[in-house]
Amino acid sequence: MTSLPMMIPPPPVGTAFAKRLSCLLLLTALGVAPLRAQSTGAVAGVVREAGGQGVPLGGARVTVDGNRQIVTTDGRGLYRIRELAPGWHSVTAAAIGHRPQGRDSVLVRAGQTTALDFVLQTDPVGLEPIEVIAERVDSVLDPLAVQDQQRFTSEDLRRLPVSSVDEAIALSAGAVGESYRGGQLGQQAFILDGLGLKNQLDASSGSLGLRLPPDMLAEASLITNGFSARYGQAMSALVNLSTRDGADRWGGRVVYETDRPLGNGADYGLDRAIFHAEGPLVAGIRFIGVADFSGKLDADPVNAPAPSDPRDPRHAEPWMLPHNSGEQADLAAKFTVPLGSRQTLRILGLHSAEQRLLYDPAYKYDQAFMPAQRTSGNLLNAQLQQTFPGPNITADLHFGYFTRDFIRGTPTNLPDYRFGAFTGEKINIQDEDLARRQDTTAARNPLPGFIPPDLSDRTPWGVPAFFLGQASRGDLAWNHFREARTKLDLTFPAGSGGDFYFGGEYSAQRVQTFQRTLGYLPVGDTVPAASAANFTPSAGAIYAEAQGRARDLALTVGLRYDQFSGRNDLPGQAAKTQRALSPRIAVSTVLKGATFVASYGKFRQAPDYQYLVDAAFDDTTRTGRFRQGNPDLGYEESTQYEFSLRVRPTPETSIRANLYIRRLDGLIASVPLGANPDSSIFGNVDAGSVKGVELILEREFTRGWAARVSYTLQQATANSSNAFVIQGVAHIDPVTGDTIRPAKVEFPLDFDQRHTLTAIVTGTAPTAWGPSLFGVRPLAGLEGTAILKVASGLPYSRMTTFGDTIIGLPNDNRLPWTSSLDVLLRRPIKLGGFGGSLYCDIRNLLNRRNIVSVRRDTGMPGVDSTTLQNLALAAYNANPGPIPYESPRYRSWADLDHNGFIEGQAELMPLYLAAARDASQPLFDYGAPRQFRLGVEFSF
Amino acid sequence: MRVTAVDHSESKPEMHAMRRSGGWLVAFLLASCTHSEPFGSGNIPANGPPGTGSPLRLTLNPGQNRDPAWLRDQSGIQYSFQQAADPDLDYCLGVLPPAGGTRLAEKCYPGDPSGQSTDALTNPAPGPGGRLAWVEAHSPVGSLSPITRTIRTGSLAVTDSGQVAITLPYVASSGQLHGTAIDLAWIGSDTLVYVGAEALIGSVCNGCKKDTLVTGRDIVLLDLKDPTHTPNVVPGTTSASSVWPSADGTAIYYTLGGDTKVYRRSLALGAVSVVADLDTLGITRDVSVQDSVLLAVAGGLVSYNVNPVFDRLQGDSGGVLIRLDLRAGGPVALGDTFHYYRRPRLSPDRRFVVTEGTDRKTGLQIATLWLITLP
């Protein structure tokens, strides 16, 4: 709270600001503040009598969606209806002696208050209500909208060339993939229908395990500042997802999209089918169900250049990587159950399953031994909303049960593809049962079924180098996370100008992990024992938040208390309870037609629980290094200051500018431990800062088109670029050769993308537009959207050829700029009584070859000729022996003297060189290629 | 068995799509289209026979190439080969095509990826139903004495480490120490027969480099159904140098150290007869018989003596390959005059002989495999 004066900008000319501030402070002191939630929205306004005076009507009744929610205006004619689900609602105002007015399409957005005023005509005889056109809702200039929210509705997603909610969110300013405002992965939390959702086990390196089918979505938004004290578990952003309630009448759609008819170069074996139905059941219960299945024969295609050697099998078919398929199934169902005029129960069930074969370049010629993984997630989310009529208190009770299961290892069965990449069967993992039993005793021996890999003899080059075969790498990892979370939110209205929030949540969690590396070897000096953990953390929080509004000035003040108790399975050692207080405050006002928002907040998140347990690395044969878990880790925290300015130069256009400074502290990094220079322990030792500015220009959809351009300039630095980089890293002085341990210095974070530009243009052709062909206008009603993304390169560290010493400072180098152009064209169709569309979705239309990573030794995607020569020579020196005729390694074309042997440097080195060139192909250094999706959609 | 990338990709999508899904929409979308597949891998064309003529050299591996044995369906030649290019000099099992060429399969000991020990899989004995028996030994690199040696049964799959049939050495009922086994073969599906031998460190001649000298002690029958896996010494086979089971498994053919005769013993009756005597050709060993055709090695670089400490010793570096029709005719020398031969094995169709051969001229004891086409 002491930081408040810093937040308030210099007063403008005159005393208006001072007056507003006084009023605001008074409101705050009285504990009167308007409501602010993020999973729900509100409608507020004033009801007046028609006529020159516009007398406010006290006691007028305002209802939503029939009589689902009813409020009455106060003596000043003010009303506020809270906790409305995002979406379209009908709102009606009525007063005795006046003609009722209604509006049936009031858009409520999460975290926003829709301003809606009514002017009622006097009508002593009581005529039928009339529909009125309410004043335009301006979410840009709304001074109550203190958050930086970038929203996408399900309709937006339909227009955009994106396939998932995540992809849409990634189009937001400040987003770099799933990193937000320079934060590391996992510093965001998901809010699904008001309840927090996070993979607390390994959010920084693993997925959530759940995907919300876009058809379930009412609205998704990315909130990057001042998020409500209601929510924790996040430092950089909240991804706020609100699901739809089922409709009042039955409808739905079926979608199928594919790229398979497109042939070589464009066929990645993609199929996706979506089935969506919603409608009323019995007793007013509404239902929506969505099944979303997708499969790709190459789930992670790359735009890497074809190898020049015609003997390389990729030379002729460089498009698709084998053993890289993936299939996903996302199932969702939601029931909305009215339990009375003021109670609504919403039950959402979500199941996601994904299995992937993972391409490992070392097994290019022995693909059966490449790894595979499965991830699944389940969520049951129940929300009971109750409005108490007397004090008009709204209570939201949430309950969520979330499980996430992950396993990666050697597949025991290769899938039998039945349709595209769909197998209809589970990929089983070798010794999965042992991992689930967490049998570390049995795992001291070589794991059953594992033998060491050998150098492959199935390569075109024959020589024993670089490529592996015979068996897998012997890695086995499994983890399981489950959480039961309950949350109560209470909203106390204080008239139309304020609300007070109070609530709390509690979650009980269970973490189970198992990891074994080099499973073909017994545990010993150079092979770390299997690590396993089984513990039951718990976390709780309470919060209070108030928001007050006086005319165009609003203030939000919140305080959140968090605590978590981590690992409690260590013998004789009680888990330490970590506690933290996080104040948040935001003030907003309108100054000369522009809305100005200043916010300050402290945000904390418990560390990934994976850092509480030991980590073993598969390079232990070389270094014996080991990373020790730390059960006493505390919160990671971020303190953010932000200033936002929103203006509307024309009625259709708006400009938003956000300036932010985030101070990061207590981030997890590895701290040297013991004598072994490579051994370390996780600790809350990293600190850094993020500074940036976001500029968002929008043209709203009028006259058939809309546009949005967002630009972000930011700098994100810290003492350590990620949790696995040892804090206080040493490097070698290139001149003196001395080992230098730098004093405290900040390096760029891994997601420090300095410049990001995203431009989205969308338009719809008129229904009678374009040339006529046999009486049909093929371009009529055509919808099109183009997205241009341009970004500067992410940082990376250069290493020596041996890979054990950083050249310069960590993340001292930058990748090249990247760009892509994505396009979606959609043509509505009518088929019988059904509507629908045909569409073509093209990603990376220009097929730009973006470099997304480089070799750390060369700073290039590939190796240079010297490195190549050295690699080949080292491999030759390791195996200089002749290759006889009967060996599977013998290649007759390499036997220059045809004596039945490939022998000597003259015959062997060309093979080793070719193998080195093959093995160092920088496949995954390149981003995705141009990809098409042809789709057909039927709605009913 | 390895599942190749071809197997993988061939099971991929479109054929299945058309065959199984049957959806009109899919059929429409996929009609008249060919669909790309991931590149295949690991399908290097095998090389054919290394040449023509007879004898034909099958192996150019600079290490030892030993213990050839025909697969029962004559689809390949099982043998053991030494990985001479590797510092640990492991022995692996391999399968060559019947006429020679690129090895069809390999099985090496997988438990020592860092090359800390010499791991030898030798004496492969193809059995019924793809079963395989072999002798497995492990020793420190450079050591002539193994730390462990076992006879195992299993399959050719790399992941199959096999079941231990018997651990060596053991003292047989004859009082002899059996430290290893040679001429390992199957009788039926549950019995192994072999020459229990002793592996001694010594020289076959004055001034020769010390090497492992393997000398036979007894012929042993090992009943795998017997839970105790007790080695049963065949009476009268003391100092046996080779053994070969008859095709019907009712008898064994064998030779004895320092002897020129080939014996046949009925396993049921114990009756012993001499089926051949190559007395003018020298010490006879390495017998094998298919129908009436007998192969053996006689004379050559062989020595036999009785040592006061180690008893009867027979050192063998190969000899002349002899073919004898037991129904008629005299012995015929096979092969050329440039090599000494060991362990000849007649193909099931009796048209080919695969045998170890060493160079007579250089005197090097590096064995290679040769294929001899019978007239």
Instruction: Give the pLDDT confidence of A448-500 residue by residue, as tens digits.
Output: 989 999 999 999 999 999 999 999 999 999 999 999 999 999 888 776 567 78
Q: What's the CA gap between A845 and B312, in Å, rounded?
A: 84
Residue with tokens 């290759």: A883
Residue A136 phi, psi dihedral angles, 5° rounding: -65, 130
Residues of B in contact with A901 (CB under 8 A): 60
pLDDT of A128 > 70? The answer is no
Residue B128 phi, psi dihedral angles, 5° rounding: -70, 150
B268 CA: distance to closest CA in chain A (Å): 41
| Cα angle value A27/A29/A32 (rounded, 5°) | 45
Question: Coil, strand, or helix at residue A443?
Answer: helix
| CATH code 2.120.10 for B80-290+301-311 | yes
Does residue A114 contact residue A62 with C-beta atoms inside 8 Å? no
Q: What's the CA gap between A317 and A330, in Å, rounded?
A: 32
Of the listed ranges A51-55, A232-236, A849-853, B281-285, the one predicted with least confidence: A51-55
Of the listed ranges A183-187, A820-824, A834-838, the one predicted with least confidence: A183-187
Residue with tokens 């100005």: A596
Q: What's the CA gap between B305 and B216, in Å, rounded?
A: 13
Here the tokens at position A688 are 């850094």
CA A862 to chain centre: 30
Res. A230 pLDDT band, cuts 50 70 90: confident
Question: Coil, strand, or helix at residue A875?
Answer: helix
Of the listed ranges A149-153, A528-532, B327-331, the one predicted with least confidence: A149-153
Here the tokens at position A328 are 């996903």
Mean pLDDT value across residues A900-919: 95
pLDDT of A152 > 90? The answer is no
% chain A with pLDDT above 90: 45
A469 CA: distance to closest CA in chain B (Å): 10
Q: Higher model confidence: residue A817 or residue B3?
A: A817
Query: If 0-12 CB within 10 Å is exposed, 13-18 middle and 19+ buried, where does residue A669 land?
Result: buried
pLDDT of B87 > 50? The answer is yes
Instruction: Characterize the bridge pairing of strands B163-168 and B148-154.
Output: antiparallel
pLDDT, position A46: 84
Mean pLDDT value across residues A547-575: 82
Cβ pair B38:A368 closer than 8 A? no
Residues of B in contact with A471 (CB under 8 A): 110, 158-159
Q: Which of B84, B86, B158 sits opposite A451 (nearest CB)?
A: B158
pLDDT, position A67: 63
Q: Which of B2, B12, B114 sits opposite A297 (nearest CB)?
A: B12
| One-letter-per-residue 3-state SS of B33-57 | CCCCCCCCCCCCCCCCCCCCCCCEE
Q: What's the CA gap between A736 and A920, in Å, rounded?
A: 31
Q: What is chain B's length?
A: 375
Here the tokens at position B189 are 């599906």
pLDDT of A245 > 50? The answer is yes
Q: List all residues of chain B from 100 to 159 with a beta carbon under 8 Å from chain A.
A: 100-103, 106, 108, 110-111, 113-114, 158-159
Of the listed ranges A434-448, A724-738, B273-287, the one predicted with least confidence: A724-738
Question: Coil, strand, or helix at residue A709?
Answer: strand
Q: Higher model confidence: residue A676 or residue A643?
A: A643
Q: What's the CA gap between A894 and B32, in Å, rounded?
A: 41
Mean pLDDT value across residues B295-306: 90
Residue A367 phi, psi dihedral angles, 5° rounding: -70, -20
Q: What's the CA gap between A784 and A774, in Å, rounded?
A: 23
Here the tokens at position A53 are 């005076």
pLDDT, position A615: 67
Q: What's the CA gap between B360 and B366, in Å, rounded?
A: 11
Does residue A696 contact residue A224 with C-beta atoms inside 8 Å? no
pLDDT of A731 > 60? The answer is no
Q: Higher model confidence: residue A32 or residue A664?
A: A664
Res. A91 pLDDT band, cuts 50 70 90: confident
pLDDT, position A382: 95
Does residue A729 contact residue A806 with C-beta atoms inside 8 Å? yes
Q: What tens digit of pLDDT does each residue of B89-105 get?
A: 899 999 999 999 999 99
B286: left (phi over 0), alpha (psi -120 to 50) or beta: left
Does residue B128 contact residue B143 with C-beta atoms inside 8 Å? no
Does residue A238 contact residue A232 with C-beta atoms inside 8 Å? no
pLDDT, position A114: 76
Residues of B in contact with A318 (CB under 8 A): 39
pLDDT, position B10: 31
Q: List all residues of chain B from 157 to 186 with a beta carbon under 8 Å from chain A.
A: 158-159
Residue A435 phi, psi dihedral angles, 5° rounding: -65, -40
Instruction: Characterize the bridge pairing of strands A113-115 and A41-49.
Output: parallel
pLDDT, position A20: 37
Q: Higher model confidence: residue A374 or residue A176?
A: A374
What is the b/e burial string over A457-469, where b = at least 16 CB atoms within 10 angstroms of the residue's CB? bbbbbbbbbbbbb
pLDDT of A61 > 70? The answer is yes
Q: What's the CA gap between A135 and A115, in Å, rounded?
A: 8
CA A191 to chain centre: 11
Q: What tens digit of pLDDT does each residue of A611-623 get?
A: 888 765 544 333 4
Residues of B in contact with A451 (CB under 8 A): 110-111, 158-159
Residue with tokens 């003021």: A342
Residue ranges of domains in chain B: 80-290+301-311
Q: Check if the interface score ipTM surpasses 0.90.
A: no
pLDDT, position A21: 34
Mean pLDDT value across residues A86-113: 77
DSSP A726: B
What is the b/e burial string over A367-378, where b = at least 16 CB atoms within 10 angstroms of the residue's CB? bbbbbbbbbbbb
Res. A95 pLDDT band, cuts 50 70 90: confident
Instruction: Characterize the bridge pairing of strands A101-108 and A130-131.
Output: parallel
Q: What's the CA gap between A60 and A50, in Å, rounded?
A: 14
pLDDT of B140 > 80? The answer is yes
- Is the bond preceding B55 in cis, omega lying within 30 degrees of 0? yes
pLDDT of A798 > 90? The answer is no
Residue B287 phi, psi dihedral angles, 5° rounding: -80, 145
Helix runs in B254-373, H state only: none
Residues of B in contact with A879 (CB under 8 A): 85
Cβ pair B47:A885 closer than 8 A? yes
pLDDT of A68 > 80? The answer is no
CA B140 to chain centre: 23
Here the tokens at position A876 are 């030759």
Q: What's the CA gap between A161 and A933, in Å, rounded?
A: 9
| Angle between helices A865-878 and A904-919 in degrees, nearest 10 | 120
Q: Which of A322, A418, A453 sits opposite B9 (nearest CB)?
A: A322
Does residue A893 contact residue A910 with C-beta atoms inside 8 Å? no
pLDDT, position A856: 84
For an interface test with A, give the residue of B21, B60, B155 to mutate (most A CBs within 10 A).
B60
Helix (H) or strand (E) holding A180: strand A179-180
Res. A627 pLDDT band, cuts 50 70 90: low
Q: What's the CA gap between A566 and B197, in Å, rounded?
A: 64
Mean pLDDT value across residues A518-545: 89
DSSP A630: -
Of the listed ranges A308-322, B29-43, B109-123, B136-150, the one predicted with least confidence: B29-43
Q: What's the CA gap between A880 and A876, in Å, rounded?
A: 5
Type of residue numbered A601: G
Q: CB neighbours (10 Å) of residue A821?
A: 19
Helix (H) or strand (E) holding A876: helix A865-878
Cβ pair B29:A884 closer than 8 A? no
Question: Coil, strand, or helix at residue A873?
Answer: helix
pLDDT of B134 > 50? The answer is yes
pLDDT, position A851: 94
Residue with tokens 């043998």: B79
Type of residue numbered A652: E
Residues of B in contact with A446 (CB under 8 A): 111
What chain A residue is nearest to B8 in terms of C-alpha separation?
Answer: A414
pLDDT, position B169: 92
Q: Higher model confidence: residue B122 or residue A740?
A: B122
pLDDT of B152 > 70? The answer is yes
**How many CB contacts within 8 angstroms connect chain A with chain B?**
175
Q: What's the CA gap between B362 and A604, in Å, rounded?
A: 80
Res. B305 pLDDT band, cuts 50 70 90: confident
Res. A750 pLDDT band, cuts 50 70 90: confident
Does residue A246 contact residue A334 with C-beta atoms inside 8 Å? yes
Q: What tens digit of pLDDT does each residue of B6-18 get?
A: 232 333 333 333 3
What chain B residue is nearest to A312 in terms of C-alpha separation?
Answer: B41
pLDDT, position A22: 35
pLDDT of A9 > 70? The answer is no
Q: List all residues of chain B from 33 to 52 with a beta carbon under 8 Å from chain A.
A: 33-44, 46-47, 50
Output the average pLDDT for chain B: 85
pLDDT of A11 > 60? The answer is no
Cβ pair A882:B62 closer than 8 A? yes
Mean pLDDT value across residues A102-131: 70
Residues of A in contact with B47 (CB under 8 A): 885-886, 890, 892
Does residue B299 contact residue B281 with C-beta atoms inside 8 Å? yes
Q: Which of A263, A320, A367 sits opposite B5 (nearest CB)?
A: A367
pLDDT of A387 > 90? The answer is no
Question: Coil, strand, or helix at residue B8?
Answer: helix
- CB of B208 within 8 Å of a chain A CB? The answer is no
CA A620 to chain centre: 33
Mean pLDDT value across residues A6-10: 29
Closest CA to B93 of B151, B3, B138, B156: B156
Does residue A655 contact residue A697 with C-beta atoms inside 8 Å? yes
